[in-house]
Structure 1
């Protein structure tokens, strides 16, 4: 987590530093990221960086958490727009990410350069024991009358499956550079299987 001095920065300086982090971490992996580049983009002394963050990993996961929060806000907005339909919202959310990549450049780069910590954070974004607030927020906006299942535990497990399918497809689209229409079609087909079930 950032240090208190970061949160006490004036808004303009904080915004400039966040933009510098976003620029560097959207271009290279965490391993290859350079503090020298970040301080150059932000136009701050090297010592100032360490007044705000312990190291580049600290800065990276601060930005990562901000992106996850942004993704959650987008998903809730889409879920409300689709009247609480989980499957319709999931498809619209997926389409947003793959079509509007400029808003998700950091996220795209994170998925293409995943380590165990990033993978765990991404795979559990909508439903994990560590992020129960995310799940509760989604659950409270769902139209449960559209689903056969009703219990919180069943919906929690469903959300874990949708989350896994979503981020597998996003990673595959970015890594293999699939055309958008094929990527969306593949994703929709997989969600349709989940929706219908496969047992007679």
Structure 2
């Protein structure tokens, strides 16, 4: 991850370096991404780059971490907008991100995900950054425990149970969004409808009793 020296740079300079890296990772596949091009676009020396990051993998990992924090903050905002109703929040979150994808406002981020084979790399990095991941998940879970309307969720007073529900719902959202990304010719409404059905199953279950709960909600 980044060095202390990078974190002490001015905000403008940090963003200039990160934006240069984003442009390069969005332009070509990860294996072809050039540190020389990054430092040229950022207007820094090669020596300076290596005082901030170990290599291109390091700066890409930093970018993914930053994007993850932005997404987490975005979801939290929507949770607050929906007064702690997680089911409405994750549905609205997925719908809004899908809208941004359609408008092209997050096209650079999408290009980075596809060019760098993000899903495979994240799996690799999870193995090496378990402590960081666990700390992040713990912070997010504590926030959700405090701000969600838990009466709408079958958590039974268990943080572990809540964590599993949140992870499952988030995975459904990510799957739907990647489905749109990988199949741009597929009807977006059909993908969202399938997501809503899967979310409904997660919320109410698949047993016969679930139908009564759905109709009563």
Shorter-chain TM range is: 0.7 to 0.9
Greater alpha carbon shift after TM alignment, 30-39 vs 15-24: 30-39
2:164 is equivalent to residue 181 of structure 1:
no
Q: Which runs of 5+ in 2 are unaligned?
A: 127-132, 209-217
> Contact 2:79–2:148 at 8 Å: present in 1 too?
yes
110, 113, 137: which one aligns with 1:110 = 113
Note the aligned Cα RMSD (angstroms). 2.3
The structure with the greater share of residues assigned to helix is 2
2:161 is equivalent to residue 154 of structure 1:
yes
> Map of 1:21-170 to 2, 5 A cutoff?
21-101=21-101, 102-103=105-106, 105-106=108-109, 109-110=112-113, 113-119=117-123, 129=134, 131-151=137-157, 152-170=159-177
Shift of 1:36: 2.2
Q: Which runs of 5+ in 1 are unaligned?
A: 123-127
Q: Secondary structure at the match of 1:69?
A: helix
Q: Mark the structure with the bigger radius of gyration.
A: 2
2:201 is equivalent to residue 193 of structure 1:
yes
Count matched residues. 195
Counterpart-to-counterpart distance in 1, 2:97 and 2:27: 18
> Contact 1:110–1:118 at 8 Å: present in 2 too?
no
Relative to the length of structure 1, the TM-score reads 0.85
Greater alpha carbon shift after TM alignment, 30-39 vs 159-168: 30-39
